[in-house]
Structure 1
């Protein structure tokens, strides 16, 4: 995508995010990654009269690796203070789960993460109906006390919902102190720390993130009082177990967030295993009617688990009930107020 085209989709994003004349916006990048994003957002923001800045962090050391919640800002308190003083942060690094992001949000800065390829950002731009329906769905989830998920493959798990707030992602952000992710389109919460029990069967064609692979042989998770106690299956189950064991952190076996996808623009079949050109898999997380469960950290929801061991697993053809009322049946949203047409 050329610079002019990328600037136009960033302009649409900033309009949807309520950017106004005189607001202070910072685009955060690291090393040589996503410098074109900074250029496009800077040009778009200037057209709206915003005061635009680009903060570029040093590239991480080759031996540093990447862990959820660990960012280059950790050693830069002055940079964190600067970001607390802007109105909106465009995060092109991926700060999620980090103490630095929480501190920036607590100061009232709104944050939008954008790390997916420009072509995906262009195809999955935010729009008013998506926000409206996601917010209605979030209200349903927030009022519920019990979530039950079942599937024809053998999933039958119950989440007690008495502790954590609901988070809505609709791919734009005009609310101080709030975070969102472009692209997206889903709602989620977390079960009580000791309130998740049952069995989840990850079926053929479901997706493991961050491994970026589709499951071929089913994986059976046993969950007791909020913790994964057993994982069984074929090759993919062995990959999951090896990944989780590599952190040497028992907190990685805790149950994290859970919810369902709402974005009809997202496509399960567009996922190409192993090929994420600079992104982190937001399309499979968002596709309409998927039910996604996660393991590991729940500090994004205000919980105590800060482990770096994190998996997101969007699943097809599941049914999800809130307080015995059907929300998703066999992978299709059945509540009229939150249904969206699928092209």
Structure 2
């Protein structure tokens, strides 16, 4: 019964997000548990005249692990790639190389069948694009950015020389986007972030999800120095320590959620998109304009954020102040 209900969301992704054209090669990367979603997308892409390939991979051991070499090569040669996976392969050389080679792609990490029916997928992406591009432009190249939140976040960094990334679920050649999150982000210049991160909404990885108690991270010279809070903070702390990789503590991203249809539910691409939220990505930054490759990329999400870029108020208590 749910298969036909997923059809509308699948058609939106194929028609609006990646704009499949007749004769294009469409590579869908998935896992066994996500196969029903992949099938819905394949049917929609086939109906548009796409040459569809479904590749089923073994779930990665951890988020941000590279896909198999054969899959990476296929992504690079595809016209379109769609990743429907549980463990993220977004922040990988495979994605970076594919878009550099001209492919266009969307990422549906942690997607459930229901997410193809309700929630962020119902957003008017064309309308959201305007706000998203404006926020990304305001963040791009800013020498001094200050992120704060009612929960206690107070993080200052520079993005001088960095591009702004606008992910609004629609892509052209050489671009990728997440779905259904709508977000503008920038990768802080390495070594410049200092202050406090207080995640009080969600950390949608490693079984944490929507937070019961805030996670507090002290940041100095671009790296997290300490992680405190309750049991969820301990889970995050232990997971990062076990990776034996100092780059996992790198402040890699500041993203702003701009999808009015998203709600906090413990799934990454819904939670990151909640309108007026902010997230600090830690670890890998190479797909966002930074230079760091780590063994993971996690997002620490906070509610009702405020952002000032070079003295210009971008967001205040979760409300966008830019005139579009």
Establish whether TM, by shorter chain, passes 0.5: yes
The Cα of 1:18 is off from its aligned counterpart by 2.1
Q: Is the 8 A contact 1:222 1:228 kept in 2?
A: yes
Partner of 2:293: 306
Tell me how far apart the structure 2 counterparts of residues 54 and 219 of structure 1 sit (CA, whole Å): 39
Partner of 1:340: none
The Cα of 1:85 is off from its aligned counterpart by 2.5
Write out per-residue CA displacement over residues 112-168 of structure 1, whole angstroms, 9 at most, x where no aligned residue. Answer: 112411221332225310122212222222253221012334322211111432221
**1:249 pairs with one of 245, 251, 256:** 245
Partner of 2:23: 22
Q: Secondary structure at the match of 1:289?
A: coil
Write out per-residue CA displacement over residues 157-206 of structure 1, whole angstroms, 9 at most, x where no aligned residue. Answer: 21111143222111232x11211111110111111111111222334xx2
Q: Is the 8 A contact 2:11 2:41 kept in 1?
A: yes
Partner of 1:276: none
Q: Is the 8 A contact 1:20 1:48 kept in 2?
A: yes
* TM-score, normalised by the number of residues in structure 1: 0.84
Partner of 1:166: 164
Q: Is the 8 A contact 1:212 1:281 kept in 2?
A: no
The Cα of 1:321 is off from its aligned counterpart by 0.9
- Report 1:2-21 matches (<5 A): 2-16=2-16, 17-21=18-22
Write out per-residue CA displacement over residues 231-282 of structure 1, whole angstroms, 9 at most, x where no aligned residue. Answer: 33333333332222111222222111002110000123xx2x6xxxxxx421
Partner of 1:193: 190
Higher mean Cα deviation, 318-327 or 283-292? 318-327
Write out per-residue CA displacement over residues 268-309 of structure 1, whole angstroms, 9 at most, x where no aligned residue. Answer: 3xx2x6xxxxxx421111100001112211122243322224
Is 1:134 aligned to 2:132, yes or no?
Answer: yes
Is 1:155 aligned to 2:142, yes or no?
Answer: no
Is 1:334 aligned to 2:321, yes or no?
Answer: yes
Is 1:176 aligned to 2:173, yes or no?
Answer: yes
Partner of 1:221: 217
Higher mean Cα deviation, 234-243 or 155-164? 234-243
Residues matched between the structures, number: 316
* TM-score, normalised by the number of residues in structure 2: 0.89
Tell me how far apart the structure 2 counterparts of residues 128 and 150 of structure 1 sit (CA, whole Å): 29
Tell me how far apart the structure 1 counterparts of residues 131 and 318 of structure 2 sit (CA, whole Å): 17
Q: Is the 8 A contact 1:112 1:179 kept in 2?
A: yes
Tell me how far apart the structure 1 counterparts of residues 101 and 164 of structure 2 sit (CA, whole Å): 20
Tell me how far apart the structure 2 counterparts of residues 220 and 85 of structure 1 sit (CA, whole Å): 42
**What is the alpha-carbon root mean square deviation over aligned residues?**
2.2
Higher mean Cα deviation, 302-311 or 282-291? 302-311
Partner of 1:111: 105
Tell me how far apart the structure 1 counterparts of residues 25 and 215 of structure 2 sit (CA, whole Å): 47
The Cα of 1:84 is off from its aligned counterpart by 2.5
Q: Secondary structure at the match of 2:287?
A: helix
| Structure having the higher Rg | 1
Partner of 2:89: 95
Relative to structure 1, the CA distance from residue 213 to residue 84 in structure 2 (aligned partners, 3 Å threshold; closer, same or farther) is closer
Q: Is the 8 A contact 2:204 2:271 kept in 1?
A: no
**2:261 pairs with one of 251, 256, 265:** 265
Partner of 1:86: 78
Is 1:231 aligned to 2:218, yes or no?
Answer: no
Higher mean Cα deviation, 160-169 or 190-199? 160-169
Tell me how far apart the structure 2 counterparts of residues 119 and 234 of structure 1 sit (CA, whole Å): 31
Partner of 1:292: 279
Q: Is the 8 A contact 1:73 1:100 kept in 2?
A: no
Q: Is the 8 A contact 1:69 1:99 kept in 2?
A: no
